[in-house]
Amino acid sequence: MEPLGTFDIIWRIVVQFTPVWIALIVLFAVSIAFKRKLGLYGKLFDSVIGMIGFGLVMFWVFTGVFGQFDLIVTHDSLAQVSGMKNKVPGTPLLMGDEGDYPWYLLGGDNLARDVFSRMVEGAWVVVQIAPLATMFAFMVGITLGLPAGYYGGRLDTFLSFLANLILAFPVILLFYLLVTPEIVATGVPSYMATVLFVFPIVFVGVLLNSRYHTQPHIRLPLLLIVLGIMIWLYLSLISEQGTKVAVLPRFLDLFDIPGGILVVFVSVVFVNSPTVFRIVRGLAMDIKTRDYVAAAQTRGEGPWYIMLWEILPNARGPLIVDFCLRIGYTTILLGTLGFFGLGLPPESPDWGSTINEGRKLLSIYLHPALPPALALLSLVLGLNLLADGLREESLRD
Amino acid sequence: MGLFILRRTVVMILTALCLTFIVFFLTNLYPNLEKLAKTQGNFRMSDEAVTSWLTKEGYLQPLPVKYGQWLGVLPGWTLETKDGITGRCVTGAVTPEVAAEAPKFCGILQGDWGYSTVFREEVSGIISTRLGLTGKLMFWVMVLMVPSALIIGVLAGMREGSKTDRTLSTFSIITTATPEYVSGVIFIAVFASSAVGLKWFKGTATSAMEDANFENFFLPVLTISLYGMGYIARMTRASMTEVMTAQYIRTARLKGVKFSNIVLKHALRNALIAPFTVILLQVPWLLNGVVIVETLFNYKGFGWVLVQAAGNNDIELLLAVSVVSVFVVLMTQLISDIGYVYLNPRIRIS
């Protein structure tokens, strides 16, 4: 078979992404049709920048999800095909079986794996970890930042000192200290996970308790059910057979996080939460002087009700914007981890690791390193544009 | 002001102590020590051999004692072996007479930063040469980054919503979205690749350590600068647009002052207060960029040492690296606070 020309390669890649295009078109059509009823999300479709950003982000989200269902990938991301080592984009397979996709669309890497499929699978790693890790960081930051800003005093001094302590650490040094196999063997990251993952439970528990404090007949069953499920999830998350933290017996353990991912997750949450803490604390200090907070205090509401149901909803604008930016930053951090070969297994298709693999031969072969680099760039750019669009739209009213 | 600086200095020392203790704790966990023993001795050491090696080198003392010795507030350990006396403050096995003359305390308070197990050299020597190399890199980064970021920010913020503003803002968003390992890879591909690129620059900066010139040094400098540049430019733009809507600017315009004069003489000074803090707070972030870029371009500076020390669990070198970086971070925070007060008359006078 003939090698493909540049135009052919582009066309075939576009065709390969068909499910993503369909999903994007459906999503945009529905959202634009109902945009007046969708609140802040709908308003996003009034700004061009916001729409471009949202489009880029959703492109990679759909790519990650569909890639998981084997819709976009052309080859197994780990399969090594003989004769395809470092081959340029568009090279036909030498001896493909029936039913194999007959080309390496973006060429082969130095282990003769398909660059295109690895890039698509890499999107899934980011889509899985980045939003969730950012959410955990927000839970930690909010649960600690609200009381620090609201009460002030000793508590504030102590928590701020801790936050500044973590922030003064160079991120890469912290990663090297936390993510090496020796440290993982001692269980330090598992213990950190045990502590950090308590925060969502505390957050939801306090949130519901303060809201339904006056209606005991709703509060008790609600808290029991919600906290019961969350604690079960929490225990399954942290307990893993064969590590230092194995509290649940196997039949109760719902899922195991594959090796390395939990450690990466913990360190990313750990690095992000102090910044969120500082933002929330600043917002809380600002908002607690407002009249409606004084009104709630006069009504005799508890401090946690005021923090979570008066201050937090009014701080949502800046927090949503920062959430988008922070997902982008988390993506960059994940890439950094991959770039230094920390945490994730070496054959993992995530973008950072692939860039690291590709850079070693960069002066001769460009094609293995460039696609993941451009993918990461476009995703982070999309998140930044989305944040910009949201900021503009939320400032408008 | 004096009290403020004093209080900040105390907090700074406390932070540095906590941080070094954390690093000390993590590097001295047993699996790490075992790895150290095996890389220093040989990889097929039995468990007993590891323990005896660690005892001989003084690694198995209690953690606070070791930390105290490293700081120089506790006397260094000594041990009598059949070859002579070994100890923290002497090199190798020596006779009792020599050991008696050696200093009792040898920690960082005495200026003794210890011995690197990877490079087999004094830590202080490694740190000072590597810091010098990174200092050269940082100097050129600052020279490139700060003026261009300020110019972009001022030009964009001067007329909000204009075409220049849109273009420059897009440019700064793109640069903030490009981490160093992405932009570095793209730059090498475009400007340095021997296969298809323009071949304007070199893809490694190893030769720049002795003799830096435009060809081998521009790409690393550009890579680090770009990531920070966008952020500073956006801050400058935000503060510039805010100043441009102020009352006194309107007065100046109505008086008929030329637009260039308004920007340069009326707006600029007030608009540059916020970016000043941002630039200084960027320094810790630049430290990150330095590590990535030095690895990518194989420039053996401070960031490269950090990677080597952390990858090989070189305890004393790693501690020295963290002391230096923590010091840099906290100093920039202090300077930015003082500078902010100094630059902003509203805070200075009240």
To the nearest whole percent, how much of chain A has pLDDT over 70?
93
Q: Are B221 and B145 in contact (CB under 8 A)?
A: no
Among candidate residues B139, B331, B329, the one with its CA nearest the CA of residue B225: B139
Q: Which residues of B touch A47 (CB under 8 A)?
A: none
Helices and strands (H, E) in chain A, number of each type: 18, 2
B329 touches chain A (CB under 8 A): yes
H-helix or E-strand spanning residue A277: helix A261-287
pLDDT in tens, A227-254: 999 888 888 877 766 666 666 666 666 6
Quick: pLDDT tens for B60-74: 888 888 888 888 877
Q: Which residues of B210-236 are buried (b: 16+ CB within 10 A; e: fewer)?
A: eebeeebbbbbbbbbbbbbbbbbbbbb
Candidates A391, A269, A262; CA nearest to A330 is A269
Is A363 within 8 Å of B195 when comparing Cβ atoms?
A: yes
Q: Are A191 and A244 in contact (CB under 8 A)?
A: yes
Q: Which residues contact B252 (CB under 8 A, 6 or more apart)?
A: B262, B266
Most confident of A313-317, A337-341, A362-366, A376-380: A376-380
Q: Most A CBs within 10 Å: which of B17, B181, B223, B322, as the mutation test of the A interface? A: B181
Q: pLDDT tens digit string along A305-355?
A: 999 999 999 888 889 989 999 999 999 999 999 898 887 887 888 898 888
The DSSP H or E segment spanning B80 is strand B78-81
Q: What is the pLDDT of residue A99?
A: 64
For B254, counting Cβ atoms within 10 Å of its Cβ (0-12 exposed, 13-18 middle, 19+ buried), the class is exposed
Q: Which of A167, A178, A339 sits opposite B181 (nearest CB)?
A: A339
Is the ipTM of this structure higher than 0.90? Answer: no
Banded pLDDT at B197 (limits 50, 70, 90): low
pLDDT of residue B289: 87
Is B208 touching A (CB cutoff 8 A)?
Answer: no
Residues A173-181, mean pLDDT to the nearest whole number: 84
Q: How close is the nearest chain B Cα to the Cα of A377, in Å?
A: 6
Residue B103 has a pLDDT of 74
Among B171, B185, B199, the residue to mutate for chain A (most A Cβ within 10 A): B185
**pLDDT tops 60 at residue B350:** no
CB contact under 8 A, B306 and A332: no
Binned at pLDDT 50, 70 and 90, residue A96 comes out as low
- pTM score, whole prediction: 0.89
Model pLDDT, residue A291: 92
Chain A contact for B189 (CB, 8 A cutoff): yes
User: What is the spatial distance between Cα A181 and Cα A177, in angstroms, rounded to a whole number?
Assistant: 10
Q: Do A165 and B330 touch (CB under 8 A)?
A: no
- Does residue A259 surpass a pLDDT of 70? no
